[in-house]
Homo-oligomer: A and B are copies of this chain.
């Protein structure tokens, strides 16, 4: 029984097994990896009777421990959600295998043939919180990109994750891939997360997904290289020439469509010459959707229902139906505000002025910079990546939505015929 094996293995033994599995995965061809993914999809669809009781146990524990209704909802798996998970795995299977992609190459004057090709990282560690769907999503993405993965999913989803990982391991074994390609370390508790952050040499890259607290802890503690998926204090700037309807639609969509995610709007900046024309309607529309406006003095003069914005508001990622609004003297002041308060996730300018659009694109130093589009488009699915590991707000390795190729490294291949250096 997998439980017995898991329980008797030390943390280091599990990491050694992950490394060993990664060697098989690195040279597995796309057809084999896709058979594994199909087997995982089938297992998730057909084993509701194993998954849902485990999930019910987590939910019962959650209620007992006072888990909020929002987090309980994130934790819940039902037959519909399992079908959705299986379908997500099949979408990953349908993507082009990133491994072996020739990134660049050339033949040198001395006849050496150089090519830089994509290779898996090896062993990927992921630390996340109480969302069992992430277990399946990340396992699928890691396998497709040829990586073994070590998952630390949080105690609130421990029973759900244990069953999901067992099913994934059985599916892997059924097609002849190492079951250890996907492992959970939940049984080691908080100490396991800490050990994972110090497992330099065993784990090639660590990806934290979840709250700002979780991410900050991992970034501060980890000795393993981290890809940071960060918070979004996202800005829209309504320039003097902004089209009125675009301003209304884009602000509404950016703030209201799904306020709890990192690409949702948090601060609206408005050119003072457009404030009279745009703000009353834009803000009335938001208020009608239940948004609380935190406005500076000039905003409140135009929209008296706004509560006063505090200094803290400018750097707050609400993730709720709250919005900070500030009237600025122009593009320079907007750029200055964004430089000071943005988390460099996504910013958008609504304008009809070509020069201002180009300056905004060039000078805003964020993962995604937009002209006349909703900030909600910063998303791997929307970008056409098919699936998303997370959205990187760091500058190293990956920036913005991360798809399969962001889960790979590269390696230089040199083919010679006896060349030596002069």
Contacts and interface: CB of A to CB of B under 8 A. Distances in A.
Interface of A: 23, 26-27, 106, 108, 112, 114, 116, 119, 121-122, 204-205, 219-220, 223, 225, 227, 243, 245-246, 249-250, 252-254, 257, 348, 361-363, 365-374, 376-378, 382-384, 394-397, 399-401, 409-421
Given A26-B365, A223-B220, A376-B421, A121 B411 contact: no
A333 to B, nearest CB: 15
Contacts of A227: 396
28 contacts: A26-B363, A27-B362, A106-B384, A112-B377, A116-B400, A122-B395, A204-B395, A205-B396, A225-B394, A225-B396, A246-B417, A246-B418, A257-B420, A369-B411, A370-B414, A371-B414, A371-B416, A372-B417, A373-B416, A373-B418, A373-B419, A373-B420, A374-B419, A376-B421, A378-B412, A396-B409, A397-B397, A399-B409
Given A205-B395, A253-B421, 10 more contacts: A26-B362, A112-B373, A112-B377, A204-B395, A369-B411, A371-B415, A371-B416, A372-B416, A373-B415, A376-B421
Given A246-B418, A376-B421, A369 B413 contact: yes
Contacts of A401: 412
A369 B116 CA distance: 10
Nearest to A415: B371
A281 to B, nearest CB: 16
Contacts of A26: 362-363, 365
B384 A409 contact: no
A106 B403 CA distance: 15
Nearest to A252: B420
A412 B369 contact: yes
Contact of A23 (B257, B363, B395, B396): B363
Tell which of A26, A116, A368, A409 has the most Cβ of chain B within 10 Å.
A409
B250 A420 contact: yes
A418 B372 contact: yes
A336 to B, nearest CB: 11
B411 A367 contact: yes
B377 A411 contact: no
A414 B369 contact: yes
Contacts of A397: 396-397
- Among A253, A257, A362, A373, residue most surrounded by chain B Cβ atoms (within 10 Å): A373
